[in-house]
Amino acid sequence: MQRPAWPMIAVVVLLTIPACSSDRHRADQTSTTTSTEPATTTSTFDLQLAEGADSASTAFQAEDPRTHGETIVITITPANPAIVLDFVTADGATLHVLAPPHENSCTTTDGSSTCTILLPLLEARSPGQWQAVASKPTGPPAALDVTVTWERDEP
C-alpha cells in the first residue's frame, strides 16, 4: 500500500516557515544607525588663581550630558589640596567636580597634582554653555589646566 505524499510535503513546509520568519527577525535586529555627532569631543581651558584667597571662572561649551559621560583631568600647579572646582550647568545646577581632600582622585608629582574625575551620564542636565569656577581660601598663586572629554554613550 502506497502512502500519500501530502503529509511529507506538509512537514517540509512547516519546517521551513519558522526558519524564514526567524531569518527575517534576525535581519531587523541587525539594522544600523548613523549619527553626525562625534563620539568624543574635548574642551580645554586654564584658570589662574592669585596669591591668597581667590577665584576664577571661564565659560565652555558642554556636550549633552544625557548622552555623553565626562572625564575631567585637572592639573594644579603648584599642588594645592584646598582648591575647589565647580561646574555650573546651562540650567543653573552646580556640579562639585573637585573638593578637598583630593587624595582619592589626585596624584602629586614634581610639585603638581593631576586629578581625574569621571562623571556618568547626567539625565537631568542640559547641554550648552557651562561655567567652570575655581577657588581657594589661601595660599600661593596656582594654575589649573582643565581638560573635559565627553564620550557619547553608545546604546
Q: To the nearest whole number, what is the mean pLDDT of the chain?
A: 79
- pTM of the predicted structure, to 2 decimals: 0.72
pLDDT at position 32: 32
What's the rounded mean pLDDT across residues 1-24? 43
Q: Which of 72, 92, 74 is nearest to 83 (CA)?
A: 74
pLDDT digits (tens, 9 = 90+) for 57-115: 999 999 999 899 999 999 999 998 899 999 999 999 999 999 988 777 899 999 999 99
- Domains, the chain, ranges and CATH? 40-152 (2.60.120.380)
Q: Three-class SS string for the chain?
A: CCCCCHHHHHHHHHHHHHHHHHHHHHHHHCCCCCCCCCCEEEEEEEEEECCCCEEEEEEEEECCCCCEEEEEEEEEECCCCCCEEEEECCCCCEEEEECCCCCCCEEEECCEEEEEEEECCCCCCCCEEEEEEEEECCCCCEEEEEEEEEEECCC
What's the rounded mean pLDDT across residues 1-10? 49
pLDDT at position 143: 96
Q: What is the Cβ-side half-sphere exposure of residue 71, based on CA atoms within 13 angstroms?
A: 9
